Amino acid sequence: MKAENNCIVIFGASGDLTHRKLIPALYNLYKIGRLTENFSVLGVARSELNDETFREKMRNALIEHEKANGAMLDKFCSHLYYQAVNTSDARDYGKLVPRIDELHDKYQTCGNTLYYMSTPPSLYGVIPECLAAHGLNTEEYGWKRIIVEKPFGYDLKTAHALDIQIHRFFEEHQIYRIDHYLGKETVQNLLVLRFSNGLFEPLWNRNYIEYVEITGAESIGVEDRGGYYDGSGAMRDMFQNHLLQVLAMVAMEPPAIINANSMRDEVAKVLHCLHPLNQEDLKNNLVLGQYVKAEINGETVAGYLQEKGVPEDSNTETYMALRCEIDNWRWAGVPFYVRTGKRLPVRVTEVVIHFKTTPHPVFSKSAPENKLIIRIQPDEGISMRFGLKKPGAGFESKEVSMDFRYADLASPSLLTAYERLLLDAMKGDATLFARTDAVHACWKFVQPILDYKAERGRVYEYEAGTWGPTEADKLIAKAGRVWRKPSGAMKKKV
């Protein structure tokens, strides 16, 4: 289904996200026919660009990131426009009114407008107010939607304040809080795997599942985002949003029907059931780490404190591992081990469901563990691990696997996360966007962890290129378990 005719106004159009993700996503949607000819993009930022210089900048980005060329590239770029605005001065937004009107007329977009806030987060409360000062938020003529980039707040209090601020000018149905993990095909596939197969659902509970591991590992460091990252850390950057959303997909109840509200009701419900962690729980169940200089494949890699924009005495965590539980009938007593970090050995996001073993091992000293590994990225796929007889005499069992690689299904029209989410926002489908109650529940769970860290959370060192501090191994070893150490590719057995 195509997007509706509309004008997309991107605030922060001279920035990194716009040229690296948003414009390429729109280009690809256009290329595969998901945008009508009646769309336009109005870039907005303080930089003194004009339509021509903005087009040139975006054209170069598309050539670099998408290997775009030819008539398609020219045609797409002709839909791009730019208006310089002082983004924190409401009066200056007056310049947007004639520009947006002109684009609606030219492209017959019936007043439909999608605003995208891709600016520093300090402006997420300011932009809606400035738009409202010129009536650019009202839905008398066409719909008005606003996409809010992450981070949505800095903690529970600021997230709440931001919500109030945006709600003063936009209603909840107009607000699209983006979490690009929800746009990932394999995250959505988790739902299909769970809810469309009779095989898994009866086993998906505390009776059959021993524990769940969720890993969001990155091999890169903070690169040139040290300034931003130091005020954020792994907890705010990855855990509070992306990984808790993945956890919710693993743990939520099946919605009665698939629509934005019923799906988001179930997500919010399970996030509200996260067992609140007190100081004592955190002492035993949380490990924070920071990478230090090391040699990887013969090359010296800088430690976090040597990264550009990072204060030399920073205590920001680049790694965290947490054991948590969900207080409901399905999950009571089942540990969820969640970890994320920068400069780990490989880039991999995966969920591992560890099933309970047989009550009595018949064939060997210990029965093989059954695992379902859901690989979110890269090399997306699903692997079922179970025990079979070792060929030859006796009845010794060994672990074997049945693997499915998502690439085998992929069609050329598979959408990337930003493509999918932009298209959904243009269609008015908010299913894959975080609702206010879910964001609030995530912050409510994370706030005590942030407080604990601020007061007494020790940040352990780990060498770049390793699987985090040894304390994280001890955390999971308390229950006689070990972290899975995945390789980069699904097909290679580890």
Q: Tell me whether residue 242 is one of the annotated catalytic residues.
A: yes
Strand-strand pairing, 286-292 and 319-324: antiparallel
Q: How many residues does the chain have?
A: 494
Query: Of the two residues 104 and 180, which places its CB atom closer to ligand BG6 in the complex?
Result: 180
Comparing CB distances to ligand BG6, the nearer of 4 and 237 is: 237
Name which of residues 11 to 30 contact ligand NDP (CB under 6 A): 12-17
Neighbours of 109 (CB within 10 A): 21
CA dihedral 123, 128, 134, 138 (to 10 degrees): 160
Print the binding letters for residues 330-359 with ligand BG6: x by CB under 6 A, - otherwise. Answer: -------------------x----------
Nearer to ligand BG6, 122 or 395 (CB): 122
| Contact partner at residue 236 from ligand BG6, ligand NDP, none, CB < 5 to 8 Å by partner kind | none
Q: How far is the CB of 109 from ligand BG6 (least distance, A)?
A: 30
Q: What is the rounded CA–CA span in Å between residue 444 and residue 455? A: 18
Residue 406 beta carbon to ligand NDP: minimum distance, rounded to whole angstroms? 23
Considering beta carbons, is residue 15 or 448 the nearer one to ligand NDP? Answer: 15
Q: Could you give the angle at the alpha carbon of 448 between the alpha carbons of 151 and 213, nearest 5°?
A: 75
Question: Which burial class, exposed, middle or buried, applies to 51 when counting CB atoms under 10 A from its CB (0-12, 13-18, 19+)?
Answer: middle
Instruction: Give CA angle at 9 (8, 12), nearest 5°.
Output: 130
* Angle, helix 23-31 to helix 417-427, in steps of 10 degrees: 70
Q: Which of 145, 150, 236, 342 binds ligand NDP (CB under 6 A)?
A: 150
42 or 432, CB closer to ligand BG6? 432
Task: Rule CB under 6 A: say whether 218 interacts with ligand BG6.
Answer: yes
Closest contact distance (angstroms) between CB of 180 and ligand BG6 is 6
- Start-to-end CA distance of the chain, whole Å, equals 41
Q: Which is nearer to ligand BG6, 151 or 368 (CB)?
A: 151
Query: Which listed residue (121, 216, 233, 335) binds ligand NDP by CB under 6 A?
Result: 121
One of 119, 318, 383, 397 touching ligand NDP (CB under 6 A): 119
16, interface contact from ligand BG6, ligand NDP, none, CB < 5-8 Å by kind: ligand NDP
Of the residues 104, 242, 354, 440, which is catalytic? 242
Of ligand NDP, ligand BG6, none, which one does residue 88 interact with (CB within 5 to 8 Å by kind)?
A: ligand NDP
| Interface positions, 32-51, toward ligand NDP (CB under 6 A) | 45-47
Q: Which of 50, 69, 88, 300 binds ligand NDP (CB under 6 A)?
A: 88
Structure tokens at 485: 């150490």
Residue 57 binds to ligand NDP (criterion: CB under 6 A): no
**Phi, psi angle pair for 322, to nearest 5°:** -140, 140
The candidate with the shortest Cα–Cα distance to 79, out of 48, 107, 102, 105, is: 107
Closest CA relative to residue 484, chosen from 354, 333, 331: 354
The interface partner of residue 218, options being ligand NDP, ligand BG6, none and the CB cut-off 5 to 8 Å by kind, is ligand BG6
Q: Does 120 bind ligand NDP (CB under 6 A)?
A: yes
- Least distance between ligand NDP and beta carbon 292 (Å): 25
Q: How far is the CB of 110 from ligand BG6 (least distance, A)?
A: 33
Nearest CB to ligand BG6, comparing residues 54 and 152: 152
Of 137-196, which residues contact ligand BG6 (CB under 6 A)? 150, 180
Q: Is 237 in the site for ligand BG6 (CB under 6 A)?
A: yes
> Which residues within the stretch 193-252 sit at the binding site for ligand NDP (CB under 6 A)?
none
Residues 305-364 that bind ligand NDP (CB under 6 A): none
Whole-number Å distance between alpha carbons of 449 and 457: 9
The site for ligand NDP, by CB under 6 A, has a size of: 18
Q: Is 87 in the site for ligand NDP (CB under 6 A)?
A: yes
Query: Which of ligand NDP, ligand BG6, none binds 489 (CB below 5-8 Å, type-dependent)?
Result: none
Which listed range, 10-18, 214-222, 245-253, 399-407, lies at the site for ligand NDP (CB under 6 A)? 10-18
Quote the least distance from Cβ 87 to ligand BG6, whole Å. Answer: 21
* Minimum distance from residue 374 beta carbon to ligand BG6 (Å): 15
What is the set of active-site residues? 242
Interface with ligand NDP (CB under 6 A): 12-17, 45-47, 87-88, 118-121, 123, 149-150
Interface with ligand BG6 (CB under 6 A): 150, 180, 218, 237, 349
